[in-house]
């Protein structure tokens, strides 16, 4: 942000004017007031720009407009979690990177496609982690719901290892399956992996 307040102009304001006991020229008053008004106007513009653009610790959300924060040490930082609730209807369900990095869903219907969408522009690394478990009665050990993944980017593809099962069955109502997807080209090519099977062992 360019600062418009002019320190050189401020320096020429005569703080001792008017002088006591002297017939002061009215032009001196006009010069001083003109400079003071100009710099107050500039200061107002600068403060308004700071209030609009600065990162403040009392803002719930700060949009950095895609700018780079360089040479920074992060402490106690985290990524956004989104609970997508129970999906009960077959069809395409968008999974938006803009909402969160980590999405959790309970699958309670067959025929659901999770569409990975809203990736950042090309040249930026971004990832989505999906936690999926089955809905319904915990005592039910036989029901499964197959789900699929798709690209939400025009002409985009998802690439995985050959062993990646797709569609995949979501069968456990308690212990989720975890998947990770990532891209560096705005979602034109998304890589995916099945991180692990049923997370059930407690250490």
Decide: 85 and 108 in contact? Cβ < 8 Å: no
**One domain for residues 101 and 189:** yes
Among the three residues 46, 72, 98, which one is the final residue of a domain in this structure?
Answer: 72
**Residues 86-105: what's their mean pLDDT?**
97
Measure the CA dihedral 8/12/16/17, to 10°: -140
DSSP 150: E
Q: Is the pLDDT of residue 86 over 90?
A: yes
Lowest mean pLDDT among 6-15, 21-30, 126-135, 173-182: 6-15
| 46 falls within a domain | yes
Among the three residues 24, 46, 72, which one is the final residue of a domain in this structure?
Answer: 72
Integer-rounded Cα Rg, in Å, for the chain is 29
Residue 70, Ramachandran bin (φ over 0: left; ψ between -120 and 50: alpha; else beta): beta
Q: Which domain holds residue 17?
A: 1-72
Structural domains in the chain (count): 2
Share of the chain above pLDDT 90, in %: 54
Strands of the sheet containing 145-151, edge to edge, are 91-96, 112-117, 145-151, 168-170
**One domain for residues 183 and 91:** yes
| 201 falls within a domain | no
pLDDT digits (tens, 9 = 90+) for 121-170: 999 999 999 999 999 887 787 889 999 999 999 999 999 999 999 999 99
**One domain for residues 68 and 87:** no
pTM: 0.75
**One domain for residues 158 and 177:** yes
Measured in degrees and rounded to the nearest 5, phi and psi for residue 94 equal: -65, 140
């Amino acid at each position: 942000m360019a600062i418009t307040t002019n320190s050189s102009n401020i320096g020429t304001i005569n703080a001792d004017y008017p002088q006591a006991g002297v017939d002061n020229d009215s032009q001196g008053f006009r010069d001083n007031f003109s400079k003071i008004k100009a710099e107050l106007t500039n200061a107002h513009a600068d403060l308004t720009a700071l209030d609009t653009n600065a990162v403040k610790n009392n803002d719930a959300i700060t949009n950095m407009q895609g700018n780079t924060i360089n040479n920074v040490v992060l402490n106690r930082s985290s990524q956004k979690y989104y609970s997508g609730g129970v999906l009960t209807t077959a069809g395409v369900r968008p999974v938006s990177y803009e909402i969160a990095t980590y999405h959790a869903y309970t699958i309670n219907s067959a025929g659901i496609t999770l569409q990975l969408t809203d990736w950042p522009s090309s040249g930026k690394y971004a990832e989505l982690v999906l936690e999926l478990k089955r809905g319904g009665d915990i005592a039910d050990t036989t029901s499964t719901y197959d789900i699929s993944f798709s690209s939400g980017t025009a002409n985009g593809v998802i690439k995985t290892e050959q062993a990646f099962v797709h569609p995949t069955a979501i069968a456990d109502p308690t212990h989720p399956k975890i998947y990770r997807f990532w891209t560096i080209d705005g979602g034109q090519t998304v890589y995916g992996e099945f991180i692990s099977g049923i997370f059930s062992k407690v250490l």
